[in-house]
Amino acid sequence: MNRDTQLQQLREDITWDMVIIGGGATGLGAAVDAASRGYKTLLVEQYDFGKGTSSRSTKLVHGGVRYLEHGNIKLVKEALRERGWLLKNAPHLTSVQPFVIPVRRWWQKWYYGLGLRLYDLLSGKLSLGQTQLLSAKETLALLPALAPEKVKGGILYYDGQFDDSRLCIDLASTAVLHGATLVNYCTVTGLIKEKKKITGITVHIAATDETHTIKARSVVNATGVFTDTILKMDDPDATNMVDPSQGVHLVVDAIHFPGTHALMIPKTDDQRVLFAVPWHNKVVIGTTDTPIEEVAAEPLVLEEEVDYILEHINRYVSPQIRREDIKSVFAGLRPLVRSKEGTSTALLSRDHTIVVSPSGLVTITGGKWTTYRKMAQDAVDNAVFISKLDKRLCITKNLPIGDPLSVQQKKEKMIQEDQRLASKLHPDFSYQWADIAYAVRHEMAVTVEDVLARRTRLLFLNAHAALDCLEQVVLFMQIELNQSDEWVQAQKKYFIELVEGYL
């Protein structure tokens, strides 16, 4: 997946069967789907792949236990099915994660236990494990961080876990493997129409100051929280579709939450669930649900959101987790589909919605990471129908994602050619310099943030550690990308300011 090669393909004067705007989970999934069906596919992303919501999740591949309580059986059943296929198609980035729900009253054990038995039944042959009722002693053995006086028992159940932005990169490489062209840092500046129907887009590539006109038989808007921007580019009078909601997560060392089991708190003060999930030898705790007026590429964590998470987790754990224990904090925006006035974002549906505009623009938004494949299939099916392309069957249910063996072999070859690449990026993490070299040469990483936030997860795991690596990484990338000293200074300045939001 070489960026120069992808750019050269974008510059070709051809008509694409499908142009996808947005390089998050849904857009990349659509690119894999369309390309694997044999459609000539182009995807453009204004930032980096997975820069927004898709790299800032709770790291769970799950059916959504709490949606059962809301009676949304259809969504849960679909998500559980998709969970099973994702774990099968990307085993190198996913795993089965055992969860424990601690209870404080005896009746809660049966109430949640029955709900989770239904959860198991809905997953059918794709079940990940049998739900079990636990005694207080068994619960504390699995979650030793819990305060013993607050536990009367628990329920053990199973869900999936994954690395979100790494999955984005593997989806991108899979799309390219099947013939798609993908370009990051490529901004859509306009939609081209003939007789009121979309026939293409115009794009701008900032790094080279290029402007291109792209011809397309169909255009898919998969821009997440930026959905309304593209809708208004199509029709200035279009009604907003998205109510953005911010979710914040804290990352702490595993010493504060030892063991391999995750915690699920079934009901917070605002009717949400709260998770504490082991991830990359750290623990991710979250999340919040804060309505947001302004959509930003880099959302800011609010002080009250950190307080909220600490307050709720500390009702269960001992010793208490303090602010100074937090290694990183990150915020993501959910593209929730707009509903009735006055409805809390915590209660808005996580189901996805597709809208086809009079111009033929296919917009898909809402949904959740777990159901990205189904969302992509629905978007591609609609684009094929609207543009009268030859109908071809979707094959992504059983399509392997990424090629981990090939990636490892290429990294080993790099190390053989340059032994320095075998050394660790940071003494506290397993990342090697070969990971950085591979990200730049084969994964279209063009900024320090791409490398330290998404190709590796250092910024999300320990913001100070990411800052420690900045000097060496930027100089390494300068040589790899043949960049100027001015580029180095600009990268340093931006990344230092970026890290402030994660501290």
- For the cut 70, the answer to whether the pLDDT of residue 348 exceeds it is no
Mean pLDDT of 295-313: 95
CA 88 from centre of chain: 18
pLDDT digits (tens, 9 = 90+) for 436-484: 999 999 999 999 999 999 999 999 999 999 999 999 999 999 999 999 9
pLDDT band at residue 379 using 50, 70 and 90 as cut-offs: very high
Domain-embedded: residue 420 = yes
Tokens coding 261:
């089991």
Domain-embedded: residue 22 = yes
Same domain, 225 and 275: no
Same domain, 253 and 113: yes
Same domain, 362 and 495: no
Are 309 and 285 in contact by the 8 Å Cβ rule? The answer is: yes
- For the cut 70, the answer to whether the pLDDT of residue 349 exceeds it is no
Same domain, 143 and 18: no
- For the cut 50, the answer to whether the pLDDT of residue 44 exceeds it is yes
pLDDT band at residue 498 using 50, 70 and 90 as cut-offs: very high
Triad 54, 260, 169: Cα angle to 5°: 25
**What span, in angstroms and rounded, lies between the C-alpha atoms of 172 and 180?**
9
Q: How many CB atoms lie within 10 A of CB 401?
A: 24
Mean pLDDT of 48-53: 96
Name 158's bridge partners.
98
Among 22, 298, 48, residue whose Cα is nearest residue 185: 48
Among 247, 250, 166, 165, residue whose Cα is nearest residue 462: 250
**What span, in angstroms and rounded, lies between the C-alpha atoms of 19 and 35?**
11
CATH for 357: 3.50.50.60
pLDDT band at residue 388 using 50, 70 and 90 as cut-offs: very high
CATH for 469: 1.10.8.870
HEC-encoded secondary structure of 115-159: HHHHHHHHHHHHCCCCCEEECHHHHHHHCCCECHHHCCEEEEEEE
pLDDT of residue 339: 66
Mean pLDDT of 92-118: 93
Residue type, 379: A
- Residue 202: which H helix or E strand, with range? strand 197-205
Among residues 373, 398, 423, the one where a domain terminates is 398
Q: How many CB atoms lie within 10 A of CB 399?
A: 15
**What span, in angstroms and rounded, lies between the C-alpha atoms of 46 and 348?**
27
**Average predicted confidence (pLDDT) for the chain:** 94
Worst-scoring range by mean pLDDT, 69-73, 175-179, 376-380?
69-73
Same domain, 309 and 444: no
Domain-embedded: residue 469 = yes
pLDDT digits (tens, 9 = 90+) for 402-445: 999 999 999 999 999 999 999 999 999 999 999 999 999 999 99
Same domain, 423 and 385: no
**What span, in angstroms and rounded, lies between the C-alpha atoms of 206 and 215?**
20
Among residues 312, 337, 362, the one where a domain terminates is 337
Half-sphere exposure of 360 (CA within 13 A, CB side): 23
Q: Phi, psi at residue 499, to the nearest 5°?
A: -60, -30
Domain-embedded: residue 75 = no
pLDDT digits (tens, 9 = 90+) for 53-89: 999 999 999 988 877 777 778 888 999 999 999 999 9
Same domain, 364 and 417: no
DSSP string, 73-118: HHHHHHHHHHHHHHHHH-TTTEEEEEEEEEESSHHHHHHHHHHHHH
Quote the domain boundaries for residue 39: 3-53+166-241+347-398
**What span, in angstroms and rounded, lies between the C-alpha atoms of 333 and 415?**
38
pLDDT of residue 344: 36
Same domain, 480 and 490: yes
**What span, in angstroms and rounded, lies between the C-alpha atoms of 75 and 56?**
22
Residues 6+ apart with CB under 8 A from 2: 441, 442, 444
Domain-embedded: residue 61 = no
Is the pTM higher than 0.85? yes
User: Which residue's entry shows tokens 């000097």?
Assistant: 471
Same domain, 385 and 484: no
Mean pLDDT of 367-379: 95
Residues 17, 22, 27, 31, CA torsion sign: positive
Residues 6+ apart with CB under 8 A from 130: 120
Mean pLDDT of 124-151: 94
**What span, in angstroms and rounded, lies between the C-alpha atoms of 14 and 25?**
26
Same domain, 191 and 295: no
**What span, in angstroms and rounded, lies between the C-alpha atoms of 47 and 230?**
15
Among 331, 351, 303, 264, residue whose Cα is nearest residue 79: 351
- For the cut 60, the answer to whether the pLDDT of residue 346 exceeds it is no
Is the previous residue joined to 287 through a cis bond, with omega within 30 degrees of 0? yes
pLDDT band at residue 352 using 50, 70 and 90 as cut-offs: confident
Tokens coding 386:
């609207």
pLDDT of residue 154: 96
Are 43 and 23 in contact by the 8 Å Cβ rule? The answer is: yes
Domain-embedded: residue 287 = yes
pLDDT of residue 496: 98
Same domain, 411 and 493: yes
- Residue count of the chain: 503
Number of domains in the chain: 3
CATH for 319: 3.30.9.10
Is the previous residue joined to 319 through a cis bond, with omega within 30 degrees of 0? yes
User: Which residue's entry shows tokens 């090939």?
Assistant: 406
Same domain, 271 and 134: yes
pLDDT of residue 225: 95
Rounded percentage of the chain residues whose pLDDT exceeds 70: 98
Among residues 357, 377, 398, the one where a domain terminates is 398
Q: Phi, psi at residue 183, to the nearest 5°?
A: -135, 120
Q: Phi, psi at residue 103, to the nearest 5°?
A: -125, 155
